[in-house]
Amino acid sequence: MAKLKYRPINLGRWLVWGGTALVMIVLPLIFTSGFTLTLLSQIGVSIIFALSYNMLLGQGGMLSFGHAVYSGLGAYFSVHALNLISKGAFYFPVTLLPLIGGLAGILFGVIFGYVTTKKSGTTFAMISLGIGEMVFACSLMFPGFFGGEAGVSTNRVIGQPFLGITYGPSIQVYYLIAGWALVCMAAMFAWTQTPLGRMANAVRDNPERAEFVGYDTHMVRFLTLVISGFFAGIAGGLSCINYEIVTAENVGALRSAGVLMTTFIGGAGFFFGPVLGSIVFVAMVSAVGAMTKAWAFYLGLLFLLIVLYAPGGFASLIAMHVPVIKARLMRRLWLPYAAAAAAGIVLLAGLVSLVEIIYHYSLEGGTAPEMTLFDFTFDVTDGTPWAVAIGLLVGGFVISRFAWNAVGRAWADIVHILQRQSA
Amino acid sequence: MSTAIELKAVTKSFGNTEIIRGVDLAIPQGERHAIIGPNGAGKSTLFNLISGRYPVSGGQIELNGESIIGLKPFEINRKGLSRSFQVTNIFQRMSVFENIRCAVLWSLGYKYSFWHRLGGLKDANLRAEEVMESIGLKQRRDTSAGVLSYAEQRALEIGVTIAGGAEVILLDEPTAGMSRTETADAVELIRKVSKGKTLIMVEHDMGVVFDLADKISVLVYGEVIASDKPENIRGNKAVQEAYLGTEAH
């Protein structure tokens, strides 16, 4: 007679979720600048959006090029609802406004999803791209709803304050986003532990077998997309509150490509991958974007490196170290890692110097040839900074090769030890 | 005894090539029925027609007296017919337990539920544990299906096929590629899990066929040339000429 294994309380899981909540509460108290608060709010919205995307890509094996349709339309419905609320057309608390975005996500998930999920693989990807372009084109065809090129703006501060909450100050908006992010993260994680969530994995891995155990693969994909659309719509609603403006960009291909990159950089194969991806992506776009015009180049390069050398994303890099830590073998990696990091810094310094010099030379070389980089001020029309940058780049590349060979050897030893231990 | 599966003048063509040429077959409930024949005879194609993987070109297929023509594989599965594949067809990235649990969810009524927690589905989890025990993979519960040995993967394939409790089971070459010991274990497993069910099996190993089957149908060039009890098939001259040769003696 078979017996069931029961796990009364998963303490580790509670600790992870509790820790995440604590971090979300404490972060704005530590980093109090307005810029950091904006960054954290963007990360919160991005986490919901990317996790909803990963329900398709990671959980259901659906590569979508048009996911911004659901978040964008959610944002548009939210912005119109907010404007109507402020005019007194109906009463609805701003705190729950993302739900309107979520419902819009469901509605369009049902409409578009039924068609897109009929097929999987490349066909699905192509249809999703087509629908994305179609909706983006609609933004110019229906300016009454989409607001034309200027978009639709709103004011999130409406009605009487409730317990002092007006959503005027950024900190209040941050905590609203953080609260929604935590609830959505928990709900999306819970979804992975349901029959539909598991069958989405089954359809991703082997759609034929899934059909022969009684499941309509089209229906599994369709329901997954509708639920994913709901969460994307919530992200759209929060984005509307955060920025107080919604433009055609919200439904555009760039937004769809952004969420794909976010998820891939973080790691589509892991639930927490898109969370990591959101932190990296928002940091690259906002923080690096504030520092240099070349941010998109660096983001593209990072994406390329991830695709080539860590296709499982940052999450996979973390996950691959778990058995090493458990076997207490990390000490074998510290030295090679330190060498690789040092070499990487030299390589990165060379690359950044060269890219920034080229940018400055191309854009302002004729009018303002002086630039400051890493606290050094120099003339980009002079040959020395070019030579130093190229030197750092080539030197960094050469020593990186040696350093990464050492990392490779250390890993080979560790794998050998782990295999021996498990045998 | 009522008929579990009935094929009436079933044909299947790919372009101008007719693979199945007017097959008539009636398999009563509870029978273990083997379909044998040389390579290219159309055995797997016949399985694909019965299970809805391919549409028929002509004829009728009935499951428990009800036509299943035009139904999709998942609809046929829900009517109580489950199949295995010649090439192992499981969820490679999932654990043994998850593979079997996926196969029991629909039959236990959980369908597309996103409001039940898998860990809390006592009936599904218990059924998965039972099936896992019956196919001898209990020790490999949390092992990823992709890293199981070939024989273990074939056992899991059978487990996934029977887990939903289908009354009609189609096994496509369940012992292909196995050693003698593994084959003997597989035969015992099939005997155990098909008890009280209708079993239709395509198999090349004559030892397995004559050991397990209540009745054998011989398919040659898309036609059933004989359908009888094993002892009669063994002595059938047409079958010997077409297929068995001296192996049957």
pLDDT of residue A48 exceeding 70: yes
- How far apart are alpha carbons A178 and A48 in whole angstroms? 10
Per-residue pLDDT at A8 = 57
On chain A, the residues whose CB falls within 8 A of the CB of B101 are 198
Q: What is the C-alpha separation between B161 and B110, in angstroms, rounded?
A: 18
pLDDT at B239: 85
Instruction: Give the DSSP letter of residue B243.
Output: I
Give me the torsion for CA of A98, A103, A129, A271, rounded to 10°. Answer: 60
Test B74 with A198 for CB contact under 8 angstroms: no
Instruction: List pLDDT tens digits, range B3-62.
Output: 999 999 999 999 999 999 999 999 999 999 999 999 899 999 999 999 999 999 999 999
Residues A88-123: tens digit of each pLDDT: 999 999 999 999 999 999 999 999 999 999 999 999
A196:B78 CB<8 A: no
CA distance A278 to A275: 5
- Which phi and psi angles does B219 have, rounded to 5°? -105, 125
Give the burial class of A411: count Cβ atoms within 10 A of its Cβ; 0-12 exposed, 13-18 middle, 19 or more buried: middle
Q: Quick check: is B234 in a domain?
A: yes
Closest CA to A234 of A18, A28, A47, A92: A47
Query: Which tokens go with A51?
Result: 């996790």
Span A130-175, pLDDT tens digits: 999 999 999 889 999 999 888 999 998 887 778 888 888 999 999 9
Record the tokens describing residue B32, joined without a space.
């273990």
Q: A92: burial class by Cβ within 10 Å (0-12, 13-18, 19+)?
A: middle
Q: Is the pLDDT of residue B218 over 90?
A: yes
Cα separations in angstroms, A113 against A38, A200, A222: 33, 15, 6
Q: Is A209 on the interface with B (CB under 8 A)?
A: yes
- Taking CA–CA distances from A216, the nearest residue in chain B reads B74
Give the residue-averaged pLDDT of B111-117. Answer: 96
Integer-rounded Cα Rg, in Å, for chain A is 24
* Strand partners for B14: B17
Residue A193 touches partner B, C-beta closer than 8 Å: yes
Per DSSP bridges, beta strands B168-172 and B198-202 are parallel
Q: Grade residue B243 by pLDDT with cuts at 50, 70 and 90.
A: low
B107, B112, B130 ranked by CB distance to A223: nearest: B112
Check residue A6 and give its pLDDT. 54
Instruction: Report the alpha-carbon distance of residue A27 to residue A38 in Å, rounded.
Output: 12
pLDDT tens per residue across span A315-362: 999 999 999 999 999 999 999 999 999 999 999 999 999 999 998 888
H helices then E strands: how many in chain A? 18, 4
In-domain check, residue B109? yes
Look at residue B39 and tell me if it is in a domain: yes
- Evaluate the CA torsion angle B155, B159, B160, B162 in order and state its sign: positive
Nearest CA in chain B to A227: B114
Q: What percent of chain A has pLDDT over 90?
A: 80
Contact B48, B54 (CB under 8 A): yes
Residue B226: its H or E element: strand B223-228
Residue B171 placed within a domain: yes
Helix crossing, A331-364 with A383-422: angle to 10°?
150
User: For A213-259, how does the pLDDT look when each residue is reduced to its tens digit (9 = 90+)?
Assistant: 999 999 999 999 999 999 999 999 999 999 999 999 999 999 999 99
The ipTM value here is: 0.94
A331 touches chain B (CB under 8 A): no
Q: Is A205 left (phi over 0), alpha (psi -120 to 50) or beta?
A: alpha
Residue B52 confidence (pLDDT): 96
Q: Which of A195, A196, A214 sits opposite B77 (nearest CB)?
A: A214
CA distance linking residue B168 with residue B5, whole number of Å: 8
Number of domains in chain B: 1
Q: What spatial distance separates the first Cα and last Cα of chain A, rounded to whole Å?
A: 30
B128: closest CA among B116, B117, B142? B142
Nearest CB partner across the interface for B112, out of A1, A7, A219: A219
Partners of B17 in the β-ladder: B14
CA distance A193 to chain B (A): 6
* Residues A302-309, mean pLDDT to the nearest whole number: 93
Domains along chain A?
13-296 (1.10.3470), 322-422 (no CATH)
Residues of A in contact with B79 (CB under 8 A): none
Higher pLDDT, B168 or A6: B168
Judge whether B233 lies within some domain: yes
pLDDT of A65: 97
Residue A209: which of B91, B125, B133 has the nearest Cβ? B91
For residue A215, the chain B residue with the least C-alpha distance is B74
Does some domain include residue B113?
Answer: yes
| pLDDT, mean of residues A180-196 | 97
Two structure tokens written together for A23 = 């971090």
What average pLDDT does chain B have? 94
pLDDT surpasses 50 at B248: no
Asked whether residue B249 is assigned to any structural domain, the reply reads: no
Helices A68-86, A217-243: axis angle to 10 degrees equals 50
The DSSP symbol for A58 reads I
Query: What pLDDT is attached to residue A287?
Result: 85
Q: Which of B114, B153, B172 to probe by mutation at the A interface, max A CB count within 10 Å?
A: B114
Residue A82 tokens, joined: 């907010």
Domain that holds residue B103: 3-244
Q: Can you tell me the distance from the alpha carbon of B21 to that of B59, in angstroms, rounded to the nearest whole number? A: 10
Residues of B with Cβ-Cβ distance to A227 under 8 angstroms: 114
Which residues of chain B are within 8 Å of residue A190 when distances are taken between CB atoms? Answer: 117
Q: DSSP readout, B20-72?
A: EEEEEEEEETT-EEEEE--TTSSHHHHHHHHTTSS--SEEEEEETTEE-TT--
Chain A: residue whose CA lies nearest to B130: A2
- Chain A closest-CA separation from residue B6 CA (Å): 20
Chain B contact residues (CB < 8 Å to A): 51, 72-74, 77-78, 82-83, 89-94, 98, 101-103, 105-107, 110-119, 121-122, 125-126, 129-130, 132-133, 138, 160, 163-164
Dihedral sign of CA atoms A97, A100, A101, A103 in order: positive
- Would you call A220 and B112 a contact, using CB atoms and an 8 Å cutoff? yes
Indicate if the pLDDT at residue A10 is higher than 80. no
Mean pLDDT, to the nearest integer, of B115-125?
96
* DSSP β-bridge partners for residue B224: B219
Task: Indicate the pLDDT class of residue A1, thresholds 50, 70 and 90.
Answer: low
CB-CB neighbors (< 8 A) of B115 in chain A: 194
Mean of per-residue pLDDT scores for chain A: 93
Q: Using CB atoms, which residue from A4, A215, A217 is nearest to B106?
A: A215
Q: Does A223 lie at the interface with B, CB-CB under 8 angstroms?
A: yes
Chain A interface, mutation test: which of B71, B91, B142, most A Cβ atoms within 10 Å?
B91
Q: What is the DSSP letter of A60?
A: T
The domain that holds B100 is classified in CATH as 3.40.50.300
**Helix crossing, A68-86 with A97-116: angle to 10°?**
150
Flag if A211 and B74 touch (Cβ within 8 Å).
Answer: yes
Nearest CB to A213 within list B114, B117, B164: B164
Cα–Cα distance for residue pair A215/A204, rounded to 1 Å: 12
List of residues 6+ apart from B189 with CB closer than 8 A:
B134, B135, B136, B155, B158
